Structure 1
Amino acid sequence: MSGGWLEGNATLITGGGSGIGRAVAERFLAEGASVTILGRDKDRLEEVVRSVADPSRVHTVTADVRDGAALAAAVAETVERFGKLDTLVANAGVWDYQRQLTRLSPEEVDTAFDEIFSVNVKGYLLAAQAAWRELVKTRGSIVMTLSNASFYVNGGGPLYTASKHACLGLMRELAYELAPKVRVNGVACGGMNTDLRGPESLALAGRSISASFAKKGPDTPPPPIPLHDSSTEPRDFTGPYVLLASRAQSGPITGHAISVDGGIGVRGFARAAGGDDL
Protein backbone atom coordinates (compact mmCIF):
# COMPACT_ATOMS: atom_id res chain seq x y z
CA MET A 1 0.00 0.00 0.00
CA SER A 2 1.28 3.47 -0.89
CA GLY A 3 -0.08 6.80 0.18
CA GLY A 4 -0.84 5.71 3.75
CA TRP A 5 -0.70 7.95 6.78
CA LEU A 6 2.87 6.80 7.57
CA GLU A 7 4.42 6.86 4.12
CA GLY A 8 8.20 7.13 4.53
CA ASN A 9 8.08 6.77 8.32
CA ALA A 10 10.81 4.73 10.05
CA THR A 11 9.64 3.08 13.26
CA LEU A 12 11.17 1.00 16.05
CA ILE A 13 8.73 -1.22 17.96
CA THR A 14 9.73 -3.05 21.13
CA GLY A 15 7.91 -6.32 21.77
CA GLY A 16 7.16 -6.48 18.05
CA GLY A 17 7.18 -10.24 17.61
CA SER A 18 3.66 -10.97 18.86
CA GLY A 19 0.41 -9.50 20.15
CA ILE A 20 -0.26 -5.80 19.86
CA GLY A 21 3.38 -5.13 18.92
CA ARG A 22 3.16 -7.36 15.88
CA ALA A 23 -0.26 -5.98 14.95
CA VAL A 24 1.10 -2.42 15.12
CA ALA A 25 4.07 -3.42 12.98
CA GLU A 26 1.80 -4.94 10.34
CA ARG A 27 -0.51 -1.90 10.38
CA PHE A 28 2.41 0.54 10.11
CA LEU A 29 3.75 -1.40 7.12
CA ALA A 30 0.32 -1.21 5.50
CA GLU A 31 0.35 2.56 6.09
CA GLY A 32 3.70 2.91 4.28
CA ALA A 33 6.23 2.78 7.11
CA SER A 34 9.46 0.81 7.42
CA VAL A 35 9.71 -1.01 10.72
CA THR A 36 12.33 -2.43 13.07
CA ILE A 37 10.82 -4.98 15.43
CA LEU A 38 12.66 -5.86 18.62
CA GLY A 39 11.97 -8.87 20.80
CA ARG A 40 13.58 -11.72 22.71
CA ASP A 41 12.31 -14.56 20.48
CA LYS A 42 14.23 -14.64 17.20
CA ASP A 43 11.90 -17.22 15.65
CA ARG A 44 8.86 -15.04 16.23
CA LEU A 45 10.56 -12.02 14.72
CA GLU A 46 11.51 -14.01 11.64
CA GLU A 47 7.94 -15.28 11.37
CA VAL A 48 6.74 -11.69 11.12
CA VAL A 49 9.22 -11.02 8.32
CA ARG A 50 8.04 -14.07 6.39
CA SER A 51 4.40 -13.04 6.73
CA VAL A 52 4.63 -9.52 5.28
CA ALA A 53 4.36 -8.55 1.63
CA ASP A 54 7.60 -6.55 1.51
CA PRO A 55 10.27 -7.98 3.84
CA SER A 56 12.74 -5.31 2.71
CA ARG A 57 10.87 -2.81 4.91
CA VAL A 58 11.30 -4.92 8.06
CA HIS A 59 14.41 -5.19 10.21
CA THR A 60 14.64 -7.43 13.26
CA VAL A 61 16.66 -7.10 16.46
CA THR A 62 16.80 -9.89 19.01
CA ALA A 63 17.23 -8.20 22.38
CA ASP A 64 15.78 -7.66 25.85
CA VAL A 65 14.30 -4.24 26.63
CA ARG A 66 16.10 -4.29 29.98
CA ASP A 67 19.40 -3.99 28.09
CA GLY A 68 20.10 -0.32 27.41
CA ALA A 69 23.10 -1.04 25.18
CA ALA A 70 21.00 -3.38 23.03
CA LEU A 71 18.31 -0.73 22.66
CA ALA A 72 20.92 1.84 21.61
CA ALA A 73 22.21 -0.65 19.05
CA ALA A 74 18.65 -1.19 17.76
CA VAL A 75 18.25 2.55 17.22
CA ALA A 76 21.58 2.69 15.41
CA GLU A 77 20.64 -0.26 13.20
CA THR A 78 17.29 1.34 12.37
CA VAL A 79 19.01 4.55 11.27
CA GLU A 80 21.59 2.60 9.27
CA ARG A 81 18.92 0.50 7.55
CA PHE A 82 16.24 3.15 6.94
CA GLY A 83 18.18 6.41 7.18
CA LYS A 84 16.37 7.86 10.21
CA LEU A 85 14.00 7.19 13.09
CA ASP A 86 10.59 8.88 13.13
CA THR A 87 8.66 6.87 15.71
CA LEU A 88 9.41 4.77 18.76
CA VAL A 89 6.62 2.46 19.88
CA ALA A 90 7.48 1.39 23.44
CA ASN A 91 5.38 -1.70 23.84
CA ALA A 92 7.09 -4.75 25.41
CA GLY A 93 5.48 -5.76 28.69
CA VAL A 94 4.35 -8.50 31.06
CA TRP A 95 1.10 -8.93 33.01
CA ASP A 96 0.75 -10.21 36.57
CA TYR A 97 -2.49 -12.11 35.91
CA GLN A 98 -4.24 -10.10 38.61
CA ARG A 99 -2.18 -11.72 41.37
CA GLN A 100 -3.47 -9.89 44.43
CA LEU A 101 -1.26 -8.75 47.29
CA THR A 102 -2.90 -11.26 49.63
CA ARG A 103 -1.77 -14.09 47.32
CA LEU A 104 1.87 -12.99 47.18
CA SER A 105 4.60 -13.94 49.60
CA PRO A 106 7.16 -11.30 50.64
CA GLU A 107 9.73 -13.02 48.43
CA GLU A 108 7.39 -12.97 45.44
CA VAL A 109 6.62 -9.29 45.94
CA ASP A 110 10.34 -8.58 45.99
CA THR A 111 11.31 -10.50 42.86
CA ALA A 112 8.15 -9.89 40.82
CA PHE A 113 8.25 -6.15 41.49
CA ASP A 114 11.79 -5.96 40.13
CA GLU A 115 10.93 -7.97 37.03
CA ILE A 116 7.64 -6.26 36.19
CA PHE A 117 8.96 -2.76 36.71
CA SER A 118 12.18 -3.56 34.84
CA VAL A 119 10.24 -4.68 31.76
CA ASN A 120 7.17 -2.45 31.87
CA VAL A 121 8.70 0.81 33.10
CA LYS A 122 12.47 0.67 32.84
CA GLY A 123 12.15 -0.89 29.38
CA TYR A 124 10.17 2.14 28.19
CA LEU A 125 12.58 4.59 29.81
CA LEU A 126 15.65 2.90 28.33
CA ALA A 127 14.05 2.83 24.88
CA ALA A 128 13.25 6.53 25.08
CA GLN A 129 16.77 7.27 26.29
CA ALA A 130 18.22 5.38 23.33
CA ALA A 131 15.94 7.03 20.77
CA TRP A 132 15.42 10.66 21.76
CA ARG A 133 18.40 12.13 19.89
CA GLU A 134 17.31 10.61 16.59
CA LEU A 135 13.70 11.60 17.22
CA VAL A 136 14.77 15.21 17.82
CA LYS A 137 16.41 15.19 14.37
CA THR A 138 13.18 14.13 12.67
CA ARG A 139 10.79 15.94 15.03
CA GLY A 140 9.37 12.50 15.60
CA SER A 141 7.25 10.90 18.30
CA ILE A 142 7.04 8.22 20.95
CA VAL A 143 3.90 6.13 21.35
CA MET A 144 3.67 4.04 24.52
CA THR A 145 1.40 1.07 25.00
CA LEU A 146 -0.48 1.87 28.20
CA SER A 147 -3.48 0.03 29.65
CA ASN A 148 -6.85 0.54 31.25
CA ALA A 149 -4.77 -0.29 34.35
CA SER A 150 -2.96 3.02 33.83
CA PHE A 151 -6.19 4.69 35.02
CA TYR A 152 -8.36 2.15 36.82
CA VAL A 153 -7.95 -0.61 39.38
CA ASN A 154 -8.33 -4.36 38.91
CA GLY A 155 -7.00 -4.43 35.35
CA GLY A 156 -4.20 -6.34 36.99
CA GLY A 157 -2.84 -6.93 40.44
CA PRO A 158 -0.97 -4.27 42.44
CA LEU A 159 2.34 -4.85 40.66
CA TYR A 160 0.99 -4.51 37.12
CA THR A 161 -1.37 -1.66 38.02
CA ALA A 162 1.43 0.27 39.71
CA SER A 163 3.72 -0.29 36.74
CA LYS A 164 1.15 0.98 34.25
CA HIS A 165 0.34 4.01 36.41
CA ALA A 166 4.08 4.66 36.35
CA CYS A 167 4.12 4.41 32.56
CA LEU A 168 1.36 7.01 32.35
CA GLY A 169 3.42 9.38 34.49
CA LEU A 170 6.53 8.63 32.44
CA MET A 171 4.67 9.42 29.23
CA ARG A 172 3.50 12.76 30.59
CA GLU A 173 6.92 13.70 31.97
CA LEU A 174 8.68 12.89 28.70
CA ALA A 175 6.03 14.80 26.75
CA TYR A 176 7.07 17.87 28.74
CA GLU A 177 10.81 17.25 28.68
CA LEU A 178 11.05 16.50 24.95
CA ALA A 179 8.67 19.22 23.73
CA PRO A 180 8.61 20.96 21.32
CA LYS A 181 10.85 18.63 19.28
CA VAL A 182 9.35 15.21 20.11
CA ARG A 183 5.71 14.34 20.80
CA VAL A 184 5.04 11.64 23.41
CA ASN A 185 1.65 9.94 23.71
CA GLY A 186 0.09 6.66 24.74
CA VAL A 187 -2.58 4.15 23.77
CA ALA A 188 -4.40 2.70 26.80
CA CYS A 189 -5.56 -0.70 25.62
CA GLY A 190 -8.19 -2.87 27.23
CA GLY A 191 -8.31 -6.66 27.25
CA MET A 192 -7.48 -8.35 23.98
CA ASN A 193 -6.76 -11.78 22.57
CA THR A 194 -2.98 -11.55 22.70
CA ASP A 195 0.02 -13.64 23.67
CA LEU A 196 0.84 -11.44 26.66
CA ARG A 197 2.85 -13.43 29.18
CA GLY A 198 3.40 -13.24 32.93
CA PRO A 199 6.60 -12.71 34.89
CA GLU A 200 9.15 -15.51 35.21
CA SER A 201 9.47 -14.70 38.91
CA LEU A 202 5.87 -15.86 39.47
CA ALA A 203 6.26 -18.91 37.19
CA LEU A 204 3.85 -17.30 34.72
CA ALA A 205 6.16 -16.86 31.73
CA GLY A 206 4.54 -19.81 29.98
CA ARG A 207 0.99 -18.58 30.48
CA SER A 208 -0.73 -16.62 27.70
CA ILE A 209 -3.90 -14.54 27.74
CA SER A 210 -4.78 -16.15 24.40
CA ALA A 211 -5.33 -19.45 26.21
CA SER A 212 -8.11 -17.87 28.25
CA PHE A 213 -9.83 -16.58 25.12
CA ALA A 214 -9.54 -20.01 23.50
CA LYS A 215 -11.53 -21.59 26.37
CA LYS A 216 -14.53 -19.37 25.90
CA GLY A 217 -17.62 -20.99 24.46
CA PRO A 218 -21.08 -19.87 23.34
CA ASP A 219 -22.38 -19.96 26.91
CA THR A 220 -19.55 -17.88 28.35
CA PRO A 221 -20.88 -14.57 29.72
CA PRO A 222 -19.53 -11.46 28.00
CA PRO A 223 -16.83 -9.39 29.71
CA PRO A 224 -18.24 -6.61 31.93
CA ILE A 225 -17.48 -3.77 29.55
CA PRO A 226 -19.95 -1.65 27.55
CA LEU A 227 -18.60 -2.69 24.13
CA HIS A 228 -18.51 -6.35 25.13
CA ASP A 229 -19.40 -7.52 21.61
CA SER A 230 -16.56 -5.62 19.94
CA SER A 231 -13.53 -7.44 18.58
CA THR A 232 -10.67 -8.21 20.92
CA GLU A 233 -8.11 -8.96 18.22
CA PRO A 234 -4.90 -6.87 18.44
CA ARG A 235 -5.31 -5.48 14.92
CA ASP A 236 -8.47 -3.69 16.01
CA PHE A 237 -6.47 -1.63 18.53
CA THR A 238 -3.90 -0.30 16.05
CA GLY A 239 -5.69 2.76 14.67
CA PRO A 240 -4.72 5.12 17.52
CA TYR A 241 -1.06 4.18 17.09
CA VAL A 242 -1.21 5.23 13.45
CA LEU A 243 -2.95 8.47 14.37
CA LEU A 244 -0.41 9.40 17.05
CA ALA A 245 2.58 8.47 14.89
CA SER A 246 1.36 10.61 12.00
CA ARG A 247 2.64 14.17 12.27
CA ALA A 248 0.08 15.31 9.70
CA GLN A 249 -2.84 13.87 11.67
CA SER A 250 -1.81 14.59 15.27
CA GLY A 251 0.87 17.27 15.12
CA PRO A 252 -0.51 19.33 18.06
CA ILE A 253 -1.09 16.29 20.31
CA THR A 254 1.36 15.40 23.07
CA GLY A 255 1.07 14.10 26.63
CA HIS A 256 -2.22 12.42 25.76
CA ALA A 257 -3.43 8.84 26.26
CA ILE A 258 -6.13 7.50 23.96
CA SER A 259 -8.27 4.92 25.74
CA VAL A 260 -9.14 1.92 23.58
CA ASP A 261 -10.73 -0.15 26.33
CA GLY A 262 -14.28 -0.90 25.26
CA GLY A 263 -15.72 1.80 27.50
CA ILE A 264 -14.36 0.62 30.85
CA GLY A 265 -14.08 4.24 31.97
CA VAL A 266 -17.87 4.72 31.82
CA ARG A 267 -18.86 1.37 33.32
CA GLY A 268 -18.42 2.11 37.00
CA PHE A 269 -17.42 -0.40 39.63
CA ALA A 270 -18.59 -3.99 39.29
CA ARG A 271 -18.09 -4.60 43.02
CA ALA A 272 -18.28 -2.29 46.00
CA ALA A 273 -15.02 -3.58 47.49
CA GLY A 274 -12.31 -6.01 46.52
CA GLY A 275 -11.61 -7.41 49.97
CA ASP A 276 -14.98 -8.50 51.30
CA ASP A 277 -13.77 -12.10 51.56
CA LEU A 278 -10.69 -11.34 53.65
Structure 2
Amino acid sequence: MSWLPGYSVLITGGGSGIGRAVADRFVTEGASVAIFGNDAAQLAEAAAGSPDPSRVLTVEGDVRSSADLHRAVAATVTRFGRLDTLVANAGIWDFQRQLTRLDAAALEATFDELFSVNVKGYLLAAEAAWRELVKTRGSIIMTLSNASFHVNGGGPVYTASKHAALGLMRELAYELAPKVRVNGVACGGMNTDLRGPASLDMGERSIGASFAKKRPDAPPPVIPLHDSSTDPRDFTGSYVLLASREQSGPITGQAISVDGGIGVRGFGSPAGGDHL
Protein backbone atom coordinates (compact mmCIF):
# COMPACT_ATOMS: atom_id res chain seq x y z
CA MET A 1 0.00 0.00 0.00
CA SER A 2 1.19 3.52 -0.81
CA TRP A 3 1.09 6.27 1.79
CA LEU A 4 0.38 9.30 -0.41
CA PRO A 5 -2.25 8.31 -2.99
CA GLY A 6 -3.72 11.36 -4.71
CA TYR A 7 -1.47 13.84 -2.87
CA SER A 8 -0.14 16.90 -4.66
CA VAL A 9 3.28 18.11 -3.54
CA LEU A 10 5.59 21.04 -4.35
CA ILE A 11 9.31 20.60 -3.60
CA THR A 12 11.77 23.47 -3.82
CA GLY A 13 15.25 22.39 -4.84
CA GLY A 14 13.66 19.27 -6.27
CA GLY A 15 16.04 18.81 -9.19
CA SER A 16 18.91 17.21 -7.29
CA GLY A 17 20.08 15.78 -3.99
CA ILE A 18 17.61 15.10 -1.21
CA GLY A 19 14.93 17.10 -3.06
CA ARG A 20 15.07 14.79 -6.07
CA ALA A 21 15.19 11.70 -3.84
CA VAL A 22 12.10 12.87 -1.96
CA ALA A 23 10.31 13.64 -5.23
CA ASP A 24 11.00 10.13 -6.54
CA ARG A 25 9.88 8.56 -3.25
CA PHE A 26 6.68 10.62 -3.17
CA VAL A 27 5.82 9.55 -6.71
CA THR A 28 6.42 5.93 -5.70
CA GLU A 29 4.04 6.50 -2.77
CA GLY A 30 1.28 7.68 -5.13
CA ALA A 31 1.74 11.47 -5.12
CA SER A 32 1.95 13.91 -8.00
CA VAL A 33 4.93 16.21 -7.58
CA ALA A 34 5.99 19.65 -8.82
CA ILE A 35 9.76 20.14 -8.61
CA PHE A 36 11.01 23.71 -8.46
CA GLY A 37 14.58 24.80 -9.15
CA ASN A 38 16.82 27.23 -10.98
CA ASP A 39 18.41 24.79 -13.45
CA ALA A 40 16.10 23.84 -16.34
CA ALA A 41 18.32 21.01 -17.59
CA GLN A 42 18.58 19.52 -14.11
CA LEU A 43 14.81 19.68 -13.66
CA ALA A 44 14.22 18.02 -17.01
CA GLU A 45 16.64 15.22 -16.13
CA ALA A 46 14.97 14.68 -12.75
CA ALA A 47 11.52 14.53 -14.33
CA ALA A 48 12.62 12.10 -17.02
CA GLY A 49 14.21 9.84 -14.41
CA SER A 50 11.16 9.81 -12.15
CA PRO A 51 9.40 6.51 -11.42
CA ASP A 52 6.41 8.03 -13.27
CA PRO A 53 7.26 11.14 -15.34
CA SER A 54 3.57 11.69 -16.11
CA ARG A 55 3.04 12.72 -12.48
CA VAL A 56 5.91 15.21 -12.38
CA LEU A 57 5.70 18.93 -13.19
CA THR A 58 8.83 21.08 -13.46
CA VAL A 59 8.84 24.78 -12.62
CA GLU A 60 11.95 26.88 -13.13
CA GLY A 61 12.56 29.75 -10.74
CA ASP A 62 14.51 31.20 -7.84
CA VAL A 63 13.51 30.55 -4.21
CA ARG A 64 14.53 34.11 -3.41
CA SER A 65 11.70 35.37 -5.65
CA SER A 66 8.21 35.54 -4.18
CA ALA A 67 6.76 35.93 -7.67
CA ASP A 68 8.46 32.73 -8.85
CA LEU A 69 7.17 30.79 -5.85
CA HIS A 70 3.61 32.06 -6.29
CA ARG A 71 3.84 31.01 -9.92
CA ALA A 72 4.99 27.55 -8.85
CA VAL A 73 2.09 27.14 -6.43
CA ALA A 74 -0.39 28.26 -9.09
CA ALA A 75 1.12 25.88 -11.65
CA THR A 76 0.93 22.99 -9.19
CA VAL A 77 -2.74 23.64 -8.42
CA THR A 78 -3.58 24.10 -12.09
CA ARG A 79 -1.90 20.82 -13.05
CA PHE A 80 -2.89 18.64 -10.09
CA GLY A 81 -6.00 20.40 -8.75
CA ARG A 82 -4.74 21.03 -5.21
CA LEU A 83 -1.69 21.33 -2.96
CA ASP A 84 -1.31 18.99 -0.01
CA THR A 85 2.34 19.36 0.95
CA LEU A 86 5.09 21.92 0.51
CA VAL A 87 8.63 20.63 0.97
CA ALA A 88 10.86 23.67 1.54
CA ASN A 89 14.20 22.18 0.69
CA ALA A 90 16.44 24.33 -1.55
CA GLY A 91 19.67 25.23 0.21
CA ILE A 92 23.39 25.88 -0.04
CA TRP A 93 26.27 25.00 2.30
CA ASP A 94 29.29 27.07 3.32
CA PHE A 95 31.74 24.14 3.31
CA GLN A 96 32.54 24.86 6.96
CA ARG A 97 34.19 28.19 6.19
CA GLN A 98 35.15 29.47 9.63
CA LEU A 99 34.84 33.06 10.82
CA THR A 100 38.61 33.41 10.99
CA ARG A 101 38.86 32.54 7.29
CA LEU A 102 36.38 35.24 6.22
CA ASP A 103 37.18 38.91 5.86
CA ALA A 104 34.43 41.44 6.51
CA ALA A 105 33.37 41.82 2.88
CA ALA A 106 33.20 38.07 2.27
CA LEU A 107 31.29 37.53 5.51
CA GLU A 108 28.70 40.16 4.61
CA ALA A 109 28.17 38.81 1.10
CA THR A 110 28.06 35.18 2.24
CA PHE A 111 25.55 35.93 4.98
CA ASP A 112 23.23 37.76 2.60
CA GLU A 113 23.37 35.01 -0.03
CA LEU A 114 23.12 32.02 2.26
CA PHE A 115 20.35 33.40 4.43
CA SER A 116 18.42 34.48 1.33
CA VAL A 117 18.35 30.89 0.11
CA ASN A 118 18.28 28.86 3.34
CA VAL A 119 15.91 31.02 5.40
CA LYS A 120 14.19 33.61 3.23
CA GLY A 121 13.56 30.93 0.59
CA TYR A 122 11.69 28.81 3.13
CA LEU A 123 9.66 31.73 4.43
CA LEU A 124 8.71 32.94 0.96
CA ALA A 125 7.70 29.41 -0.06
CA ALA A 126 5.47 29.12 3.00
CA GLU A 127 3.88 32.49 2.23
CA ALA A 128 3.16 31.44 -1.33
CA ALA A 129 1.65 28.09 -0.32
CA TRP A 130 -0.23 28.52 2.95
CA ARG A 131 -3.57 29.53 1.43
CA GLU A 132 -3.76 26.37 -0.66
CA LEU A 133 -2.56 24.26 2.24
CA VAL A 134 -5.33 25.61 4.47
CA LYS A 135 -7.86 24.38 1.91
CA THR A 136 -6.52 20.83 2.07
CA ARG A 137 -5.49 20.84 5.74
CA GLY A 138 -2.07 20.10 4.37
CA SER A 139 1.47 20.35 5.67
CA ILE A 140 4.86 21.98 5.26
CA ILE A 141 8.06 19.97 5.65
CA MET A 142 11.35 21.85 5.94
CA THR A 143 14.71 20.25 5.26
CA LEU A 144 16.74 21.05 8.35
CA SER A 145 20.15 19.73 9.34
CA ASN A 146 22.22 18.36 12.18
CA ALA A 147 23.48 21.98 12.12
CA SER A 148 20.03 23.05 13.32
CA PHE A 149 21.01 21.57 16.70
CA HIS A 150 24.80 21.06 16.80
CA VAL A 151 27.90 23.05 15.89
CA ASN A 152 30.53 22.15 13.29
CA GLY A 153 28.06 20.85 10.74
CA GLY A 154 29.00 23.96 8.80
CA GLY A 155 30.61 27.30 9.40
CA PRO A 156 28.98 30.07 11.45
CA VAL A 157 26.82 31.33 8.59
CA TYR A 158 25.40 27.93 7.64
CA THR A 159 24.90 26.91 11.28
CA ALA A 160 23.11 30.17 12.02
CA SER A 161 20.88 29.71 8.97
CA LYS A 162 19.86 26.19 10.00
CA HIS A 163 19.18 27.26 13.58
CA ALA A 164 17.03 30.02 12.09
CA ALA A 165 15.17 27.52 9.91
CA LEU A 166 14.40 25.41 12.99
CA GLY A 167 12.94 28.46 14.72
CA LEU A 168 10.98 29.35 11.60
CA MET A 169 9.51 25.85 11.44
CA ARG A 170 8.36 26.05 15.06
CA GLU A 171 6.90 29.53 14.68
CA LEU A 172 4.93 28.60 11.56
CA ALA A 173 3.69 25.43 13.26
CA TYR A 174 2.10 27.71 15.85
CA GLU A 175 0.84 30.37 13.45
CA LEU A 176 -0.72 27.95 10.95
CA ALA A 177 -2.26 25.57 13.50
CA PRO A 178 -4.71 23.91 13.48
CA LYS A 179 -5.16 23.98 9.69
CA VAL A 180 -1.60 23.32 8.49
CA ARG A 181 1.01 21.09 10.11
CA VAL A 182 4.64 22.26 9.90
CA ASN A 183 7.55 19.92 10.62
CA GLY A 184 11.18 19.38 9.68
CA VAL A 185 13.63 16.64 8.81
CA ALA A 186 17.09 17.28 10.26
CA CYS A 187 19.40 15.43 7.90
CA GLY A 188 22.98 14.39 8.47
CA GLY A 189 25.71 14.38 5.84
CA MET A 190 24.67 13.09 2.43
CA ASN A 191 26.44 12.37 -0.82
CA THR A 192 24.58 14.89 -2.97
CA ASP A 193 25.24 17.76 -5.36
CA LEU A 194 24.80 20.36 -2.62
CA ARG A 195 26.60 23.53 -3.70
CA GLY A 196 28.22 26.46 -1.95
CA PRO A 197 27.64 30.22 -2.12
CA ALA A 198 28.69 32.07 -5.25
CA SER A 199 29.94 34.86 -2.98
CA LEU A 200 32.76 32.50 -1.92
CA ASP A 201 33.32 31.23 -5.47
CA MET A 202 31.74 27.93 -4.42
CA GLY A 203 28.73 27.98 -6.72
CA GLU A 204 30.17 25.10 -8.75
CA ARG A 205 31.68 23.22 -5.82
CA SER A 206 29.70 20.12 -4.86
CA ILE A 207 29.71 18.32 -1.52
CA GLY A 208 29.51 15.10 -3.53
CA ALA A 209 33.11 15.61 -4.62
CA SER A 210 34.17 15.49 -0.96
CA PHE A 211 32.63 12.04 -0.61
CA ALA A 212 34.22 10.87 -3.87
CA LYS A 213 37.70 11.86 -2.70
CA LYS A 214 37.62 9.70 0.43
CA ARG A 215 40.30 7.02 0.39
CA PRO A 216 39.25 3.39 0.81
CA ASP A 217 41.25 3.30 4.07
CA ALA A 218 39.84 6.61 5.34
CA PRO A 219 38.44 6.58 8.89
CA PRO A 220 34.67 6.27 9.26
CA PRO A 221 32.57 9.42 9.53
CA VAL A 222 32.51 11.05 12.95
CA ILE A 223 29.08 9.73 13.88
CA PRO A 224 28.16 6.89 16.23
CA LEU A 225 26.58 4.72 13.54
CA HIS A 226 29.65 4.23 11.37
CA ASP A 227 27.79 2.34 8.66
CA SER A 228 25.11 5.02 8.38
CA SER A 229 24.10 5.57 4.76
CA THR A 230 24.97 8.80 2.94
CA ASP A 231 22.62 7.96 0.04
CA PRO A 232 19.85 10.61 -0.02
CA ARG A 233 17.29 7.94 -0.91
CA ASP A 234 17.73 6.47 2.56
CA PHE A 235 16.68 9.77 4.16
CA THR A 236 13.28 10.02 2.49
CA GLY A 237 11.10 7.94 4.81
CA SER A 238 10.62 10.72 7.35
CA TYR A 239 9.33 13.04 4.64
CA VAL A 240 6.72 10.45 3.62
CA LEU A 241 5.66 10.02 7.24
CA LEU A 242 5.27 13.76 7.87
CA ALA A 243 3.41 14.36 4.60
CA SER A 244 0.81 11.68 5.32
CA ARG A 245 -2.22 12.95 7.27
CA GLU A 246 -3.17 9.40 8.05
CA GLN A 247 0.21 8.56 9.57
CA SER A 248 1.22 11.82 11.27
CA GLY A 249 -1.96 13.85 11.78
CA PRO A 250 -1.15 14.86 15.39
CA ILE A 251 2.50 15.73 14.64
CA THR A 252 3.43 19.39 14.18
CA GLY A 253 6.30 21.62 15.26
CA GLN A 254 8.67 18.65 15.35
CA ALA A 255 12.03 17.95 13.76
CA ILE A 256 12.93 14.34 13.06
CA SER A 257 16.69 13.84 13.24
CA VAL A 258 17.96 11.56 10.49
CA ASP A 259 21.66 11.98 11.19
CA GLY A 260 23.11 8.56 11.91
CA GLY A 261 23.21 9.32 15.62
CA ILE A 262 25.19 12.58 15.67
CA GLY A 263 22.88 13.81 18.43
CA VAL A 264 24.06 11.00 20.68
CA ARG A 265 27.55 12.41 21.06
CA GLY A 266 27.96 15.31 18.63
CA PHE A 267 31.00 15.72 16.42
CA GLY A 268 34.41 14.35 17.30
CA SER A 269 36.60 17.46 17.49
CA PRO A 270 36.78 18.86 21.05
CA ALA A 271 37.72 22.40 19.98
CA GLY A 272 37.77 24.34 16.76
CA GLY A 273 40.34 27.02 17.51
CA ASP A 274 43.49 25.06 18.26
CA HIS A 275 45.09 26.41 15.08
CA LEU A 276 44.72 30.08 16.09
Using the alignment, how far apart are the partners of 2:61 and 2:249 within structure 1? 31
Say which of 270, 273, 276 aligns to 2:274. 276
Q: SS state of the match for residue 142, structure 2?
A: strand
Higher mean displacement: 74-83 or 43-52 = 43-52
- Give the alignment of 1:118-267 within 5 angstroms: 118-267=116-265
Say which of 88, 99, 102 aligns to 1:101. 99
User: 1:55-91 CA distances to partner (integer Å, 9 max, x unpaired)?
Assistant: 2210000101000001001000000000000000000
AA aligned to 1:160 is: Y
Q: SS state of the match for residue 7, structure 1?
A: coil
Q: 1:82: which partner in 2?
A: 80
Query: Structure 1: which 5+ residue stretches go unaligned?
Result: none
Provide closer, same or farther for how the CA distance between residues 80 and 269 of structure 1 changes in structure 2, counting only shifts above 3 A.
Answer: closer
Contact 2:24 2:51 in 1 (8 A): no
Using the alignment, how far apart are the partners of 2:184 and 2:85 within structure 1? 12
Using the alignment, how far apart are the partners of 2:10 and 2:269 within structure 1? 40
Q: 2:40: which partner in 1?
A: 42
AA aligned to 1:21 is: G
Contact 2:186 2:257 in 1 (8 A): yes
Contact 2:222 2:267 in 1 (8 A): no
Using the alignment, how far apart are the partners of 2:233 and 2:174 within structure 1? 30
Count how many residue pairs are aligned between Structure 1 and Structure 2: 276
User: 1:134-159 CA distances to partner (integer Å, 9 max, x unpaired)?
Assistant: 00000000000000000000000000
Q: SS state of the match for residue 259, structure 1?
A: strand
Query: Structure 2: which 5+ residue stretches go unaligned?
Result: none
Q: SS state of the match for residue 108, structure 1?
A: helix
Using the alignment, how far apart are the partners of 1:186 and 1:50 within structure 2? 28
Q: What percentage of residue pairs aligned between the two structures are identical?
A: 76
Contact 2:10 2:76 in 1 (8 A): yes
RMSD across aligned C-alpha pairs, in angstroms? 0.8
User: 1:241-273 CA distances to partner (integer Å, 9 max, x unpaired)?
Assistant: 000000000000000000000100112452332
Using the alignment, how far apart are the partners of 1:162 and 1:212 within structure 2? 22
4+ long deviations beyond 4 Å = none
Higher mean displacement: 211-220 or 60-69 = 211-220
Q: 1:25: which partner in 2?
A: 23
- How far did residue 230 of structure 1 move? 1.9
Q: SS state of the match for residue 140, structure 2?
A: strand
AA aligned to 1:239 is: G
TM-score, structure 2 as length reference: 0.99
Q: Find out whether 1:72 has 2:39 as its counterpart.
A: no
Q: 2:3: which partner in 1?
A: 5
Using the alignment, how far apart are the partners of 1:145 and 1:264 within structure 2? 17
